[in-house]
Amino acid sequence: MRPRASALTSLCRWASLPDLYSHYGSRGIVVSTFLQSWSQGVDVWGESGMRKLFSTANVVTYGGNVKEEGYLKMLVDLIGKYTYTSVSSSRQMDSGSTSRQDATDDIMSVADLSALPKGRAVMFGSGARAVLLRTIPIDHRPYAGASRASEEAHNRPTVDTVDHEPSAPAAEPVVPEPAGNRWAALVKE
């Protein structure tokens, strides 16, 4: 196996990409950009260019392992909040009272996103709410053998894998229950 290229040598520095993202999208041309962090994009396109790229992308997927608080806070805000009802009751001698109060809380916190475990991702799609995904490594997919054989035939290194259960189901959104914040529990499943 050959060593992985550093982040700087594997980066295509296409200066006008932020201006072209929307243009290519309107023509039905799919352009994919893979970054290890928000800062990596800022180094290439500047803060303004990175914001433009982010806001014009039709799909943004966050797979964890980022420690940039500003970026993670932006994702927390985009994921949104959930509303719940807090009920409290009190009892005194022969009488009692119950009060209900609506409250809101973030669905996920900066700490939740920062510690997102392998096998999980959050996807933001145009016109849709954020969804929590369970990812599947290529070696657990039906075409894994064919992919591996193709790589071996071309003398390329095999695909790096991560430890996952071999019976992992296909990637699909995990929908939180409306009554309470189930995302935090689902992240750890």
For the segment 54-64, the average pLDDT, to the nearest whole number, is 93
Could you count the other beta carbons within 10 Å of the beta carbon of residue 55? Answer: 11
Percent over 70 (pLDDT), the chain: 76
Q: Identify the CA nearest to 116 among candidates 72, 57, 181, 70.
A: 72
Give the β-pairing of 59-62 and 81-92. Answer: unpaired
So what's the pLDDT on residue 111? 95
Percent over 90 (pLDDT), the chain: 41
So what's the pLDDT on residue 161? 52
So what's the pLDDT on residue 189? 59
Supply 142's token pair. Answer: 């039906």
